[in-house]
Amino acid sequence: MSVTAVSTPNIALIKYWGNRNNDLRLPMADSLSITLNQPTVQIIVDRAERFTARTFEPDGTERTLTEKERARLEKHFTLTKTYLDVLGLAKAFPGSVSLEIRSKIPRAIGIASSAAIFSCLAKAYAGLVGENRSFTMQEKSVIGRLGSGSAARSLAGGFVALHAGTGNDIDSAAAEQIADENHWNLFDVIIIPSAEEKKVGSTEGHTLAHTSPLFSKRIDTIPRRQQECIDAILKKDFEKLQHVTEEDALDMHNVMQTQTPPLKYLSNETYRMMEEVEELRDTEHLEVLYTMDAGPTVHLICTEAALPKIRAYAKEQKGCTLFEAGVGNGSHLLD
């Protein structure tokens, strides 16, 4: 019997950058994100003789996976088995699987699909074993994290923290929901200045974070920021959320830009929009904040009251692709 799961990306407010164990994707520090309600990824997992993976684009056409992509999916399957062995569940898991990945994430929108894909796989793998035993959100988040650190956070809806933990045990870092999807009606207006594929992805970037002279200070500062961010969310204090989110995004990009080799993900367009949004926020008294991941894409997170003006601002951006999402309910199984 096959299992079908659906999941979505998330946008980090406190960013995950750098691992203490690259193989197991154990992060150096905590992170926190909002799970988005779209775009979705759907994956059908079935028991199979040998590992196979097929992927389909939003228009339904099949895309051949690169060898690197295929190897990452297979490694994730192997790591999942290792973790299930720790849980005493290895026997309930198939020797191999076939995957059918149907992504609704347009390639041009510059949102990393890895968080959606690996959280979706985690949900589906847990579903395969699930006839024998149900999994906690923390356990599912560990499976997601083994494929992509940020994927751990998309297993739950709403506002989700990934606790870094300590040590090298496979389950020493797991996610926890801070507040659910009905807690605070925020929006993410996404402006993509360029659809260029990035040269260095985050998997590789994480492994070199420690070469930045700013990295250890960042790691020391994150516990304070993580707590401020949690407080801001629980109190729905947008101004506090804005300060800590922007501070953390800029700090992560300073680390990226000073690591060896430097990773310069932000473009002139990104910097221009950041300045304009600051001005717009001040003159119009809008509840809006900006944040950027490993690319030039600008995420404008705003309240419902600010949404019409932020949408209008986004539409003014020439040559950019736009996308909009609300707060989502995380990954789930389809019947």
Q: Which is nearer to ligand PMV, 76 or 286 (CB)?
A: 76
Choice from 150, 226, 245, 270 touching ligand PMV (CB under 6 A): 150
| 284-323 footprint of ligand PMV as x/- string (CB under 6 A) | ---------xx-----------------------------
Backbone angles phi, psi at 44, to 5 degrees: -105, 125
Q: State the alpha helices, DSSP H only, in 157-267.
A: 202-207, 215-235, 238-258
Q: Are 193 and 298 in contact (CB under 8 A)?
A: yes
- 114 in contact with ligand PMV (CB under 6 A): yes
User: Cα-flanking dihedrals φ and ψ of residue 34, to 5°?
Assistant: -105, 125
112 is an interface residue for ligand PMV by CB under 6 A = yes
Nearer to ligand PMV, 132 or 227 (CB): 227
What residue type is assigned to position 323 of the chain? F
Q: Does 331 bind ligand PMV (CB under 6 A)?
A: no
Helices (H), the chain: 67-86, 114-129, 137-145, 202-207, 215-235, 238-258, 268-284, 307-316
Which of 4, 7, 31, 40 is in the footprint of ligand PMV by CB under 6 A?
31
User: In the range 164-223, which residues lie near ligand PMV by CB under 6 A?
Assistant: 202-203, 206
Identity of the residue, 4 or 141, whose beta carbon is nearer to ligand PMV in the bound complex: 141
CB of 150 to ligand PMV, least distance (A): 3
Pick between residue 218 and residue 313 the one whose CB is nearest to ligand PMV. 218
Measured on CA atoms in the order 87, 92, 93, 96, is the torsion positive or negative? Answer: positive
Closer by beta carbon to ligand PMV, 266 or else 306: 266
Collapsing DSSP to helix, strand or coil, 298 comes out as: strand
Sequence-ordered alpha helix ranges (H) in 173-214: 202-207
Site string for ligand PMV, 66-105 (x = CB under 6 A): ----------------------------------------
- Considering only the stretches 86-94, 142-150, 225-233, 273-281, report the one whose residues sit in contact with ligand PMV under the rule CB under 6 A: 142-150
Tell me the number of residues near ligand PMV by CB under 6 A: 16
Q: What is the dihedral sign for C-alpha 1, 97, 144, 73?
A: negative
Place of tokens 């079908």: 4
- In order of 17, 125, 305, the CA distances from 45 in angstroms are 30, 8, 41
Torsion of CA 159, 162, 163, 169, to 10 degrees: 150
Containing 63, the helix (H) or strand (E) segment is: strand 62-63
As measured in angstroms, the least distance from the Cβ of 13 to ligand PMV is 9
Distance from C-alpha of 223 to C-alpha of 206, rounded to nearest angstrom: 19
Q: Which is nearer to ligand PMV, 201 or 326 (CB)?
A: 201
Candidate segments 110-118, 133-141, 177-185, 191-199, binder of ligand PMV by CB under 6 A:
110-118
Residue 246 near ligand PMV by CB under 6 A:
no
d(CA 307, CA 166): 40
Give, rounded to a whole angstrom, the gap between the first and last alpha carbons of the chain.
11
When binding is defined by CB under 6 A, the residue of 16, 77, 83, 238 that contacts ligand PMV is 16
C-alpha pair distances (Å), 333 with each of 3, 71, 321? 7, 25, 30
Cβ of residue 202: shortest distance to ligand PMV, in angstroms? 4
- Measured from the CB atom, the residue of 115 and 280 that comes closer to ligand PMV is 115
Closest CB to ligand PMV among residues 256, 306: 256
Give the nearer residue to ligand PMV in terms of CB position, either 4 or 19.
19
- Collapsing DSSP states into helix, strand and coil, what is residue 112? coil
Interface residues toward ligand PMV, by CB under 6 A: 12, 15-17, 31, 112, 114-115, 148-150, 202-203, 206, 293-294
